[in-house]
Amino acid sequence: MSNSKLYKGSLNTIILKLLEESDKMYGYEITQKVKEITKGELNITEGALYPALHKLEAEGLLDVEMQKVDNRVRKYYKLTEKGTKETANRLSELEEYIRTMQTIINPKWSIS
């Protein structure tokens, strides 16, 4: 599933959910956290991650904070207030989508 097209539609929601659980994260940290949580099943490439982060920032859902770490500047991302609200909305939509797909894949047949 590492390069599945299915996850790409959920990438923004994945990013928002991770940032909801953490105060702030930088790009590489996000990719590693996803890999850890999914036990290596899902790998987010930099080519997919950074455009998504920039889009979320442009939408006003993320704030960026620059911090110097080991003589390098690291860009941390965190949710804005609008981002926190949007995260709740997107997670709700995703949960509903998953329930609907579950119904289609494993319909519960009732015999009356």
What pLDDT does residue 2 have?
45
**Degrees to nearest 5, angle at CA 67 with 18 and 17:** 5
Token digits of residue 100:
């609907």
The domains of the chain, with CATH numbers, are 5-105 (1.10.10.10)
Tell me what pLDDT residue 79 has.
97
Least confident range from 19-23, 43-47, 57-61, 108-112: namely 108-112
Q: What is the pLDDT of residue 10?
A: 86
Over residues 25-58, the pLDDT tens digits come to 999 999 999 999 999 888 898 899 999 999 999 9
Q: Name the one residue in this structure whose structure tokens are 């989508």.
A: 97
pLDDT per residue over 59-75, tens digit each?
Answer: 999 999 999 988 999 99
